[in-house]
Amino acid sequence: MAHKVTIEPLGREINVGDNQTILDACLRQGIWLPHACAHGTCGTCKVQLLEGSVQHQGASEFALMDYEREEGMALVCSARPVTDVVLEADVEADPEAVFHPVKDYNATVETVEEPAQWVRRFILKLDNGPILFMPGQYIQVEVPQPGKPPLKRCYSIASSPRDGTRIELQIKYTPGGRATPYIFEELKEGSKIKFSGPYGFFFLRKNGHEPVIFLAGGTGLAPIKSMLRVATEENLPRRLTLIHGVRSQADLYDYDFFRELEKINPNFRYIPVLSARDPEKAWDGEEGFVHEALGRLPSFKGHKAYLCGPPMMVDACLTTLMKGRLFEDSIYCENFFTEEDKSGPLKRSPLFKRV
């Protein structure tokens, strides 16, 4: 049974289908609402219910506390209306954002690679594309479950929007993950796959001339690779620095790609950093963690910064940036929140609201 949902202060009314989340309905019907993880973990999509009631499925008790539920708060990424609803959301949009409604896509796995240990790269050829997206956004892949509704897992797009008929995904192996057998054992070249997108509000702002620092941990590199591709394709007139942190050389990937990008784009500098270098292998690059390599830069005051990776990495980098006098209005983040993060409170910087 469909229910009507009114979004204030826009005054927009939409129909939300049976077993459909409010966020999904909004994004498919041309209404953008703030969201990040899309599976009830981060709390970014929290809204105030003014009228009506909803049922939450899969929302973390830490992302939406009991007292918040009692006060009529809801997470639209996991809330399904059980009556007609009126809600109030923070819908202030970034003037550089280009909203592309969420759609469903069918694709064929064209290429499967293993660029580093525990990382799988997929090139998907869209059968009903192209997909329109901003560099930095992500998709939700359907993971089949026999006799059950499919799981949905979020993966950032690493390719440029210039050719939306093919997209690149970089996926890390998660021991014990419910989607891991499907991603790492069943998906082969020629496999069919379903996904929806685009999602998220982590995207490259192209206006301005401030130098930019990109900070990535592990496969947090994916959305930043998309951003750097676009910055190079469009010859954005700004200095660009990428610091990519991994554990060891066996975990480092796309090294040649970014070294080649340095040759193509004279404004770009690439700094890979290892936290646990193999002493038996030659390495003359940076060592330590991403935030430590960041702290060794001469200055980042007056820059813009984009961060993507595990929450601990993002938090450490935020602290370093703020010590260097770079603050919230110049920083854009994407944390990697998994289903496992629902079991405990998320660590958040008290000085940074968007994390």
Residue 169: per-residue pLDDT: 98
Residue 59: per-residue pLDDT: 77
> Closest Cα to residue 227, out of 160, 314, 317?
160
Residue 301: per-residue pLDDT: 86
How confident is the model over 253-284, as pLDDT tens digits? 999 999 999 999 999 999 999 999 777 788 88
Residue 278: per-residue pLDDT: 76
Would you say residue 355 has pLDDT above 70? no
Q: Which residue has the higher pLDDT, 215 or 44?
A: 215
How confident is the model over 342-352, as pLDDT tens digits? 444 555 444 44
Residue 338: per-residue pLDDT: 55
Cα R_g (the chain), whole angstroms: 20
Given a contact cutoff of 8 angstroms between Cβ atoms, the answer to whether 265 and 232 are in contact is yes
Q: What is the mean pLDDT of the chain?
A: 90
Query: What's the CA gap between 265 and 231, in Å, rounded?
Result: 9
Q: What is the mean pLDDT of residues 322-338?
A: 85
Domains defined along the chain, listed by start: 3-88 (3.10.20.30), 103-199 (2.40.30.10), 212-343 (3.40.50.80)
How confident is the model over 33-43, as pLDDT tens digits? 888 887 788 88
3-state secondary structure the chain: CCEEEEEECCCEEEEECCCCCHHHHHHHCCCCCCCCCCCCCCCCCEEEEEECCEEECCCCCCCCCHHHHHCCEEECCCEEECCCEEEECCCCCCCCCCCCCCEEEEEEEEEEEEEECCEEEEEEEECCCCCCCCCCCEEEEEEEECCEEEEEEEEEECCCHHHCCEEEEEEECCCCCCCHHHHHHHCCCCCEEEEEEEECCCCCCCCCCCCEEEEEEHHHHHHHHHHHHHHHHCCCCCCEEEEEEECCHHHCCCHHHHHHHHHHCCCEEEEEEECCCCCCCCCCCEECCHHHHHHCCCCCCCCEEEEEECHHHHHHHHHHHHHCCCCHHHEEEEECCCHHHHHCCCCCCCCCCCC
How confident is the model over 49-86, as pLDDT tens digits? 999 999 988 777 878 888 998 899 999 999 999 999 99
Share of the chain above pLDDT 90, in %: 73
Residue 351: per-residue pLDDT: 41
Residue 94: per-residue pLDDT: 80
Of 91-105, 134-148, 245-259, the least confident? 91-105
Residue 8: per-residue pLDDT: 93
Model-wide pTM > 0.85: yes
Given a contact cutoff of 8 angstroms between Cβ atoms, the answer to whether 252 and 246 are in contact is yes
Dihedral sign for Cα atoms in the order 19, 25, 28, 33: negative
Query: What's the CA gap between 84 and 2, in Å, rounded?
Result: 9
